[in-house]
Each structure stands twice: as structure tokens, then as C-alpha cells.
Copies of this chain bind each other. A is one copy, B any other.
């Protein structure tokens, strides 16, 4: 009996998975009830007797994406292959290109908010022209002195609006101003307040993640000094910036002077935007990414495989233990 039981199960597996027969047909063929077949198949799965292989070079990236989703608790993660020549620039390009897929569900009612950034600039470039239709594209924060015209706030927002065939609303101010006083008065400006209100009402936020280093656009555009960087890191524990605001490893906005000098959507209002997509990759941004994830600052992440792997290692242990507990 126990001999034939295995054979029967095996036969069910072969007929089901390799001959593609329906469970009912298998039951008729083997003269057993369909319940039995169903239970055999379930048991075979549970015992790991059947294994499904997916033949596609990109499975590994989907796997990574899935694991990052679970580990960081994100709604959606897209992982692109890290380019062979893994320079910061090529990674930005690769990540940016993958972004267009995230715009599939943009409708003429959709309002998109956005910030400047090098990765974002690539993303906008790769958006198809004339296919998408959105309602409005609006800045999440002010701009900055021209580091490179193509990545400036003005250019990115404008070009996105063009590609989405949508209204363009900009925040006519720098991201960071000299002192809190100036910031207050600018934020009182109708044009700025209205723009930020519109940003707060958007359904999709698109942004990059900045490191707290000399490689950040905030530094490169002269909004902060070397001393600021040191202070932010050492004194405030800042690990990254998003929409011009700095946060620590737990994703809490740090209480530095920069908080009051920023012309950008307030963090709480930013967090009320239902879909917040970050485009970011590269080893330098690991801590920045862990922070946004821990703090729930974003819902969606587009990154590269190397970064994804590193993230899992840095963030994974807890999850690995959890998974063990589940088994």
C-alpha cells in the first residue's frame, strides 16, 4: 500500500505538471477521486518534491525586488541589473530608465509631484513622449543654483509636465535659503504656498534620495558647507535627505537648522501622499535608503541589484530570523 501510495503521488505529479492534465482528468485516469489527487499534489508541494524553475535571465532581479519589498516593508520595489561598468552615473541612468514603468497608471486625473535629481532627470528623459496623460506636475521643493541645467528643478518639472501632457506648477524659490526668517516669509508667499498645497494633494510623489556627503546635490549646489555635513552627521545623526529634508537612520526628520531653512513640502504633508516613489542606487546611499525605509518615508523604490543585495544584507538579518520563525 505504501509503495503504491508514492507511485500514485508521483504519477499525479507527472500527469499534472508535465502532461498538463487537469486534476479531474488525472483522477479519472487513475481511478481515484479528484480529492485524492488534489491532496497528493498539495502534499508533494509541501514535501518539496516538485520544484518550479523559471527560465528567464531576469528572475533574479524579480526575486531581489520581492525580498526587498518584504524586508523593507515597501509596497513595490523595482530592481534593475547593476550595469557592468558600475559608475554612479551609469547606475543613475539604469535606474532612471526603469522608472517609466511606474507611470503606467497615470490618468488625466493624476497629479504628480516631483523633485530635482540626477537619477530623476534620467527617468524623465526615458519617459515616452505623447503616450501618457496626466493632470498636473508640481514641485515638492524649491530649486537651486544651476549645477547642471538639465537636472535643475525647473527643467525636470517642466519636462515631466511636457511628457505627461500636463499642467506645470513650480515652486519659485531655492530649496534651502540662508536663514529661517527668509524661509518663513517665502513660505508665506501665495505662489509658493499654493504650489506646495498642490504638491500635498498629488497622488504620486517622485523623488530621489540624497546622501549626506559632498556628492549630494544640496552640497554641490552650495546650499551647505563641509562643516554642515559634519554637523548633520555627527550631531544630528542625519543619514540622508529627501525633498530637501534630512532624516536619521530611523527615518525621523532631524531637528537641525536646515529644517527651518527649507522651502519644501512639510514632512507630514509629504507622508500623506499615497504613492511616494524614490529612485536611488549606489553603495553611498545605503544608510540613506535604510532610513527612508525604517521611517516609512516612501512606498516604492527603484534601485539596482547591487544596492538591493547590500540592502538585504544590511537590513535583512531581522527578516531572516523572522522567516526562520515562520518555518
Contacts and interface: CB of A to CB of B under 8 A. Distances in A.
Interface string A72-85: 00000010000000
Q: Please list the 6 inter-chain residue pairs (A to B) with the smallest Cβ-Cβ separation, ordered nearest first.
A: A17-B52, A4-B101, A14-B62, A51-B53, A13-B54, A10-B62
B66 A31 contact: no
A7 B54 contact: no
Contacts of A4: 100-101, 104
A13 B18 CA distance: 17
Nearest to A14: B62
Contact of A31 (B1, B53, B78, B105): B105
Nearest to A78: B7
B49 A56 contact: yes
A211 B268 CA distance: 88
Interface in A36-57: 44-45, 48-56
A52 B54 contact: no
A54 B105 contact: no
A165 to B, nearest CB: 17
A11 interface: yes
Contacts of A101: 3-4, 7
A15 B15 CA distance: 23
B49 A54 contact: yes
Contact of A50 (B31, B49, B54): B54
A18 to B, nearest CB: 6
19 contacts: A7-B58, A7-B62, A11-B62, A11-B65, A14-B54, A14-B62, A14-B63, A17-B52, A17-B54, A20-B45, A48-B55, A49-B55, A49-B56, A50-B52, A50-B53, A50-B54, A51-B53, A51-B54, A52-B53
Given A11-B62, A31-B105, A105-B31, A54 B6 contact: no
A52 B18 contact: yes
- The secondary-structure label for the interface of chain A is helix
Interface of A: 1, 3-4, 6-7, 10-11, 13-15, 17-20, 31, 44-45, 48-56, 58-59, 62-63, 65-66, 78, 100-101, 104-105
Given A4-B104, A66-B19, A105-B31, A53 B55 contact: no
A26 to B, nearest CB: 12
Nearest to A63: B14
Given A48-B55, A51-B55, 20 more contacts: A1-B104, A3-B100, A4-B100, A6-B56, A6-B58, A7-B62, A7-B101, A10-B56, A10-B62, A11-B62, A13-B54, A14-B54, A17-B54, A18-B52, A18-B63, A19-B66, A31-B105, A49-B55, A50-B52, A51-B53
A62 B8 CA distance: 9
